[in-house]
Amino acid sequence: MAAETAGPKPGTAAWWLAREDEPARQRRRRSLTLEAILDASMTLLDTGGAAALTMRNLAEALGCTQASLYRHVRNREELVTLLVDRALDVASSAPPEDADWAGKAAWSARLFREHLLRHPGVASLLRGTERLGPNSLAGVQYSLELFIGAGLGPRLASAASSALATFVIGSVHFNLGLDVSDSEESRHRRLLYRSRDASALPLLVEHADVLSEVGSDDVFEAGLTALLTGFRVLIEREGGTRD
Amino acid sequence: MAAETAGPKPGTAAWWLAREDEPARQRRRRSLTLEAILDASMTLLDTGGAAALTMRNLAEALGCTQASLYRHVRNREELVTLLVDRALDVASSAPPEDADWAGKAAWSARLFREHLLRHPGVASLLRGTERLGPNSLAGVQYSLELFIGAGLGPRLASAASSALATFVIGSVHFNLGLDVSDSEESRHRRLLYRSRDASALPLLVEHADVLSEVGSDDVFEAGLTALLTGFRVLIEREGGTRD
DNA sequence: ACCTGAACACCGTTCAAGT
DNA sequence: ACCTGAACACCGTTCAAGT
C-alpha cells in the first residue's frame, strides 16, 4: 500500500487531520484563495447543477487557469469534499425550545432536508459519507446531545444519529430522481402500474391509483416518524442501560 | 418542453411504458444483443467498479465498435437504468416461513443490503430512484404484501416500503464510503475526535473511543430495527384504518 | 518563486463514408 | 440495410517553459 505517496484520501479522518497540521497554505498577496474557489464552486453548483462543476468552468469563472486551481486543491475529489462540508452549515436556526428530543430531531431533519432540496447540486454530490468535516462534526455533536439526553448510551446514540442522517440523505436522493414537479410522471406511473400482469403483481394493479400518488414527502415523513418512534421505544424499553 | 423529440428520460414511467410498446428492436442474425451488452457491463462493473463502465471498455470487451452500442441503447444513462434493474434480481431465496411480517422485512432488507455490498459497482450507480423496472416492481409487490398484510392501508404501506428501501440504499452508500475494512481509518477517527475543541464539541471528545468504533453494520441494524419498530407501533395504534 | 499554455489520456456521442 | 473509422466537444490532470 504505497498510499502514503499521494497522501490520504480526501474525506478520511487521516486527511482531515493532515489538513490542519499544514501551515496555512497561502499567504499569497491577494491572488486566488481557497475560499474564492469554494464560493465560485457553490455558485456553479446552484446555477448549473453538478455537471457544471468542472475545473474549466471554475477557472473561467475565477479568471484564472485550470492549473492554478491545483495549487489550492490536490484533486477534484478534494474540492468536492471541502465543498460538501461547507454546504452542510445549516444549523443556523434553532429548533423550538418547548419540543422534546424527538420533536427537535424531527425539526432538524426537516430543516436539513429542505436545505439540501434547495441546493440539488450539492445534494447530488453527497455520498452520505462525509461526516468528519467541521460542519458535519457540529451536526454530530448536536445529534448526540439529543439522543444521549433522551437516555441512549453513546454507542446507540451514535448509531441512531448516523441512521437518521443516512435516511435523510437517502430520501433527498430519492426526491431528486423522482421529478415530483412533473405531474405527467404520476399519470404515467398510474398507467404503468395498471398495465402490469395482475397475476404476478396483484397489489400494484389493484392499488395503482393510490401508489402513483405517493410522493417523496410522504415517504420522508413516514420514515422519519417511524425511525423516531422506534428510537423512543428503544429508550423506554431499555432505558439506555445496555450501552 | 421539446422533450418529446428525444423521447422520455430513461427510468421514468413513460420510458418504461414506451419501451414495451416497441416491436422487439432486434431480430438480428446473431450479432450484438442487448443481453450481451448488459452481461458485459455487469462484468466490467464487478471487476473494475463504476469507473470501468465506459463505452470504450464495453466495446472492447464485446469486440465491437463504440458506435454499435448505440444501436441497442440510446444513452449511457439508458444502459445504466437497464443494468440497475437487472441487478436488483435478488429475490431468489425466500425468507423463513415462521417469521412475522417484520421478521420477513428485516430478512429481506439484510439480503438486499448484502447483495449490494457484494456488487459495489452496481450500488454506486444506484441513485435510489429506480423503482419502476420489472425487478424493482417485483420487490415493491413483495413489500406491499408484507405491510398490507400486517394491517397498513395501501398508501402507508407504499410509503413505508419506499422508506425502507431508501434507508437500505442510503446505508449501502454510507458503507461504500466508509472503508470499514481499513482499521487505520478507525484509529485516525479516534485521533480526530479526541483532538477537537472540547468546549465546542464536548460529546465527541468525551466519547471519542466509542464513536470511532461504531461501524456501518451498527448503523444499519439500529436504523432497521427502529424503522420496523416504528411501523409496528403505527399498526398497533391505528390498525391501518386511517388510510 | 510563481504562474501558465499546451499538451496528455481519457470521456460520451455522432455521422459521413464504406460494405 | 447494416456497420464502422474517425472525428467532435468535452473531461481531469500534468509539466515544461516562461516571467
- Residue-number span of the structural domain to which B105 is assigned: 101-178+215-241
Contact B174 A13 (CB under 8 A): no
Q: Map residue A198 onto helix, strand or coil.
A: coil
**CA distances from residue B25 to A65, A167, B32, B126, B189 in whole angstroms, order as listed:** 47, 40, 12, 26, 53
**B18-22 long-range Cβ contacts below 8 angstroms, 24+ apart:** none
Same structural domain, B126 and B151? yes
CA torsion, ordered A43, A44, A49, A55, to nearest 10 deg: -150
Q: Quick one: B148 and B28 in the same domain?
A: no
Q: What is the number of domains present in chain B?
A: 2
Query: Running DSSP on this structure, what letter comes out for residue B59?
Result: H
Chain D, protein-covered positions (CB within 7 A): 2-7, 10-15
A117, A123 Cβ separation under 8 angstroms: yes
pLDDT band at A180 (very low <50, low <70, confident <90, very high): low
Whether residue A67 is contained in a domain is answered as yes
Residue A43's pLDDT is 94
Q: What is the pLDDT of residue A2?
A: 33
Residue keyed to cell 464487478: B46
Asked if strand D comes closer than 7 Å to B141 Cβ, the answer is no
If asked whether residues B151 and B231 sit together in one domain, one would say yes
Instruction: Please report the pLDDT score of residue B23 as a whole number.
Output: 58
Instruction: Note whether A129 contacts B221, CB cutoff 8 Å.
Output: no
> Which tops the pLDDT comparison, B21 or B92?
B21
Binned at pLDDT 50, 70 and 90, residue B52 comes out as: very high
Q: Strand C: which bases are under 7 Å from protein Cβ? A: 2-7, 10-15
Check pLDDT > 80 for residue A83.
Answer: yes
What pLDDT is stored for residue A234 in this prediction?
95
B107 lies in the same domain as B82: no
Q: Is B26 in the same domain as B115?
A: no
| Whole-number Å distance between alpha carbons of B167 and B146 | 17
* pLDDT tens, position by position, A10-35: 888 888 888 877 655 554 545 788 99
Q: Residue A175 has what pLDDT?
A: 83
Q: How many Å from the CA of A59 to C1' of D17?
A: 21
Inter-axis angle of helices B34-48 and B55-62, nearest 10: 120
CA triple B153-B154-B160, angle to 5 deg? 90
Contact A164 B214 (CB under 8 A): no
Taking 50 as the threshold, does the pLDDT of residue A58 lie above it?
Answer: yes
Contacts of B154 in chain A (CB under 8 A): 203, 206-207, 210-211
Find chain B residues with C-beta within 8 A of A173's C-beta: 127-129, 166, 169-170
Beta carbon of A71 within 7 Å of strand C?
yes
CB A172 within 8 A of CB A115: no
Q: Best interface-test mutation with B: which of A1, A80, A180, A203 has the largest number of B CBs within 10 A? A: A203
Q: Around Cβ A98, how many Cβ atoms within 10 Å?
A: 7
A153-CA/C15-C1' distance, Å = 65
Report how far residue A166's alpha carbon sits from residue A160's, in angstroms, rounded to the nearest whole number.
10
Q: Distance from A59 to chain B by nearest Cα, in Å?
A: 25
Asked if residue A24 keeps its beta carbon closer than 7 A to nucleic acid strand C, the reply is no
Confidence of residue B1 (pLDDT cuts 50, 70, 90): very low
- Residue B31 and residue B146 in one domain: no
Q: How many other CB atoms sit within 10 Å of the CB of residue B139?
A: 20
- With beta carbons less than 8 A apart as the criterion, state whether B162 and B144 touch: no
Provide the 10 A C-beta neighbour count for residue B23: 5
pLDDT at position B91: 62
C-beta pairs of B158-162 under 8 Å, 24+ apart in sequence: B158/A207, B158/A210, B158/A211, B158/A214, B158/A218, B159/A214, B159/A218, B159/A219, B159/A221, B159/A222, B159/A223, B160/A222, B160/A223, B160/A226, B160/B231, B162/A174, B162/A214, B162/A219, B162/A222, B162/B131
Between residue 111 and residue 170 of chain A, the positions with Cβ below 7 Å from nucleic chain D are: none
Which residue do the cell numbers 487557469 mark? A65
Looking at the fold, whether B149 and B231 belong to one and the same domain comes out as yes
Decide if pLDDT at B138 tops 80: yes
Is any atom of strand C within 7 angstroms of residue A33's beta carbon?
Answer: no
**Single residue among A26, A61, A87 that ends a domain in this structure:** A87
> How is residue A237 written as a grid cell?
424499553
Q: What is the pTM of this model?
A: 0.91
Q: B14: pLDDT confidence band, cut at 50, 70 and 90?
A: confident
Q: Cβ of B234 and A223 within 8 Å?
A: no
Supply the pLDDT for residue B237: 86
Q: Is residue A167 part of a domain?
A: yes
Whether the CB-CB separation of A193 and A211 falls below 8 Å is answered with yes
Instruction: For residue B60, give the amino acid letter.
Output: E
Q: What are the backbone angles phi and psi of residue B122, rounded to the nearest 5°?
A: -60, -45
What CATH number is attached to the domain comprising A123?
1.10.357.10
Residue B5 falls inside a structural domain: no
Q: What percent of chain A has pLDDT over 70?
A: 87
Residue B226, in any domain of the structure: yes
Would you place residue A4 in the very low, low, confident or very high pLDDT band (cuts 50, 70, 90)? Answer: very low
Cβ neighbour number for residue A60 with a 10 Å cutoff: 14
Pair A107, A79 in one domain:
no
Query: A181-190, pLDDT tens digit by residue?
Result: 677 788 889 9
Asked if residue A226 and residue A123 are part of one domain, the reply reads yes
Residues A159 and A231 in one domain: yes
Instruction: Indicate whether B3 pLDDT > 50.
Output: no
For chain A, give the mean pLDDT: 87
What CATH number is attached to the domain comprising B56? 1.10.10.60
* Cβ contact, residue pair A192, B222, below 8 Å: no
At residue A238 the predicted structure's pLDDT band, cuts being 50, 70 and 90, is confident
pLDDT tops 50 at residue A156:
yes
Instruction: Tell me whether residue B233 is in a domain.
Output: yes
pLDDT tens-digit series, residues A87-102 = 888 766 778 889 999 9
d(CA B212, CA B193): 8
What whole-number distance in Å separates Cα of residue A62 and Cα of residue A84? 20
What does the block give as the cell for A200?
A: 404476478
Residue B167 and residue A167: Cβ atoms within 8 Å?
A: yes
- The C-alpha atoms of residue A225 and residue A229 are separated, in whole angstroms, by 6
Instruction: Say whether both A48 and A147 belong to one domain.
Output: no
**Closest CA of chain A from B230, distance in Å:** 4
Does residue B68 lie in a domain region?
yes
CB proximity list for B104: less than 8 A, separation 6 or greater? B95, B96, B146
Judged against a pLDDT cut of 90, whether residue B221 lies above it is answered with yes
Boundary-marking domain end, from A65, A87, A109: A87
Please report, as a single letter, which amino acid is at residue A34: L
Q: Which residue has the cell 433527498?
A: A172
Contacts of A194 in chain B (CB under 8 A): none
Asked if pLDDT for residue B241 goes beyond 60, the answer is: no
B235 → chain A, closest CA residue: A226
**Cell 450539492 appears where?**
A122
DSSP alpha helix (H) spans, B119-215: 120-125, 134-150, 154-178, 183-194, 202-206, 208-211
Residue in B204, B220, B223 closest to A137 by CB: B204
- Residue A195: inside a domain: no
Cα B149 to chain centroid, rounded: 24
DSSP B4: G
Q: What value does the mean pLDDT take over residues A110-120?
A: 93
B203 chain-A contacts, CB cut-off 8 A? 141, 144-145, 148, 154
Helix (H) or strand (E) holding B227: helix B216-238
Among candidate residues A59, A87, A115, the one where a domain is terminated:
A87
Let me know whether A158 and A118 are in one domain.
yes
Task: Give a yes or no: residue A44 inside a domain.
Answer: yes
Closest CA–CA distance from residue B123 to any residue of chain A (Å): 12
